Chains A and B, each alone.
Chain A
């Protein structure tokens, strides 16, 4: 099947495909980070995670509109404001949800799945009511459009690079938060031994609440980044949840490195397979491989040893 390509063209295609895989990787990491934090901390899978992302995306959409109408001079920088807002909005909603719902279901993780699924349905319908069923897109500022040509045949889109840089930034931010701050120390203490953490004076309820909020906030940032590479509709969140869940589960519950490694594996295998097969078969095979590996190694790639 490769006869019609020359060697140089093949390398270029491979490179471009690899780059597309990297963008997918960044998006997956952004989406999975928030979920991984929550799952690692509380053992709760937030089925409404996709909807939190979409909330971030809609926040970005609104911000871009406001900037376009009232502050056209500052339009180039709206994206940073939008991301901060997306984080705040999702954080606030996340804290609210934890306070109103999750904390009562703490000992029943399976029920949390259902309750958060209910939440996701409600959010979806709210988006549909408020923003309409049609997908919306944002106007990108000028500097984010176009692409950067590395050679004559290789071009990389600038928004893709931006998403990658953003992911790097957020991931290191989460790393510092979890492993270099007092709050992170508390979180890890609660993960390792909840009653003992409580006994030494850590307010575990508060730690849970803010962990959930921050996880949702990161989902908001992910959604915000998302608007740069695709349009947003009320049900867009659903398209990605399975991938995101698998990334988290595949990576191992309490491991940040695991999440990143599994996102990398999944995205690269998917984009490489996409070149050989149809898109849907690539996805099927990727997911099957992940499920297969999970059956052999249920604890995920990197499992943190904790006392059960």
Chain B
């Protein structure tokens, strides 16, 4: 046990949390669900990439992007373009007037593959495009905005506008992008049929593994100085600037990283679901992705995964049984999560479940049933907590450098206001 919690960028609780998630994702879910449901969970998990990016970007960096769907879509489209080109070889498209090009291009009287589709015939190019293209795009947006100190609501509105532009563009350029229907009818990846049951199971595992890599990377960043600067920047930007840091660079970095995660999610989505369409790019899906992150807890990396699964699962259940109630539920969820529990599921866990867990969980030498005492009740609770300055009473030596819980729910309403980040 002592060894475990010595892993440098995690506390014992977090290690246990990751193991728990791994057990759920890699063992419990695949063993208990049929392939159809498993595929559905796999689809939800691809949104978790976006939610994870938002935790870093919004929860830690304080940058709310309402255009994450753009990056999700870019990643997804890059993957879809590769798969589509593979699916439309001259043999299987010989009934078209121009064989060898994707079917929707043929329907739109395009007779030649556009030059920018050409490189997507190579898998290495497509894979690097999935990661690099959205990151580059985010970098351009980030440089343009953050270097000029655009932030807060302005940034949110502009990213939203970019999402709108992207959707209009994709729908408008039907001949090159497949329009409203998107790129459909994807079959194989290097000759491997991605629609078969076994492929779906394998892709599910690939998706989970990729998610874990992203989670651990985020965890690492969060623990390191970089993560702490992000939090400091979110809470008191000018102080960080006066301390000599170039705030814009940190913001650009975290925004690019979240874009990259979203793009990986998008590519996994295309692989598992078998199509990509503009309905995952626009304003509405982009904001929905924010709620996944908010429900899980905007400061909790693991929470992002659980939040995504929970909201999507609820969405599926509702849409199957009471489709007309779903929007009410979703709207209420938005309001509730913002007003009543701004730190999401993670805070509920901290508050109600964690105190009841046995001593080995927290790694305390003495069993203490009492809730963790909160020393800091000032406006900067969240700041202080995330910076790891909260005292871990009786914690083992391994926590000499105390990495604390992601979120600690402030216990009274007055504190709530300060507990959440304040812009």
Contacts and interface: CB of A to CB of B under 8 A. Distances in A.
A and B are partners in one complex rather than unrelated chains: yes
Interface stretch (A4-12, A66-74, A124-132, A140-148): A124-132
Contacts of B339: 101, 104-105, 115
A180 interface: no
B417 A117 contact: no
18 contacts: A43-B153, A107-B422, A108-B338, A111-B338, A118-B334, A118-B335, A119-B335, A125-B331, A245-B157, A245-B161, A249-B154, A280-B172, A284-B168, A284-B172, A287-B164, A291-B162, A294-B154, A298-B149
B284 to A, nearest CB: 8
Given A107-B417, A113-B66, A128-B324, A280 B331 contact: no
Nearest to A109: B153
A123 B161 CA distance: 22
Interface string A179-220: 000000000000000000000000000000000000000000
Given A114-B334, A119-B331, A295-B145, 19 more contacts: A101-B339, A107-B422, A108-B421, A108-B423, A109-B153, A110-B423, A113-B64, A114-B291, A118-B332, A118-B334, A121-B331, A122-B331, A125-B327, A249-B154, A283-B168, A284-B165, A291-B161, A291-B162, A298-B145
Q: Tell me if B's interface is mostly helix, strand, loop or mixed.
A: helix
The 3 closest A-B pairs by CB, nearest first: A118-B334, A280-B172, A122-B331
Nearest to B336: A118
Contacts of A107: 417, 422-423
B148 A295 contact: yes
Nearest to A123: B331
A84 B182 CA distance: 44
A302 B168 CA distance: 28
Nearest to A283: B168
A109 B161 contact: no
A280 B287 CA distance: 23
The contact size tier of chain A is 35 or more
B324 A113 contact: no
Nearest to B171: A280
A119 B332 CA distance: 8
Given A45-B157, A278-B172, A109 B335 contact: no
A120 B290 contact: no
Contacts, number: 129
A110 B421 CA distance: 10
B156 interface: yes
Contacts of A168: none
B150 A242 contact: no
Contacts of B164: 242, 287
Contact of B169 (A101, A117, A121, A284): A284
Given A113-B64, A284-B172, A295-B144, A122 B328 contact: yes
Interface in A25-68: 39, 43, 45
Contacts of A113: 64, 66, 153, 156
B330 interface: yes
Interface of A: 39, 43, 45, 101, 104-105, 107-115, 117-125, 128-129, 238, 241-242, 245-246, 249, 278, 280-281, 283-284, 287-288, 290-291, 294-296, 298
Interface in B398-423: 417, 420-423
Contacts of A241: 283
B333 interface: yes
B358 interface: no
A20 to B, nearest CB: 19
Contacts of B165: 284, 287-288, 291
B153 A45 contact: yes
Name which of A43, A110, A249, A295 has the most chain B CB atoms within 10 A of its CB. Answer: A110
B152 interface: yes
Contacts of A280: 168-169, 171-172
Contacts of B64: 110, 113
Contacts of A128: 324, 327
Contacts of A249: 154, 157-158
A69 B164 CA distance: 41
A295 B150 contact: yes
A100 B284 CA distance: 24
B342 interface: yes
A111 B153 contact: no
Given A118-B330, A280-B171, A295-B145, A108 B420 contact: yes
Contacts of A111: 338, 342, 420
Contact of A298 (B154, B169, B420): B154
A114 B290 contact: yes
Contacts of B290: 114
Contact of B152 (A110, A119, A124, A281): A110
A283 B165 CA distance: 8
Contacts of A124: 327
Contacts of B328: 121-122, 125
Contacts of A242: 160-161, 164, 283
A110 B331 CA distance: 16
Contacts of B287: 114, 117
Given A113-B156, A121-B327, A281-B172, A298 B148 contact: yes
B338 to A, nearest CB: 4
A242 B165 CA distance: 10
B386 interface: no
Contacts of A108: 338, 420-423
B153 A110 contact: yes
A121 B334 contact: yes
A115 B330 contact: no
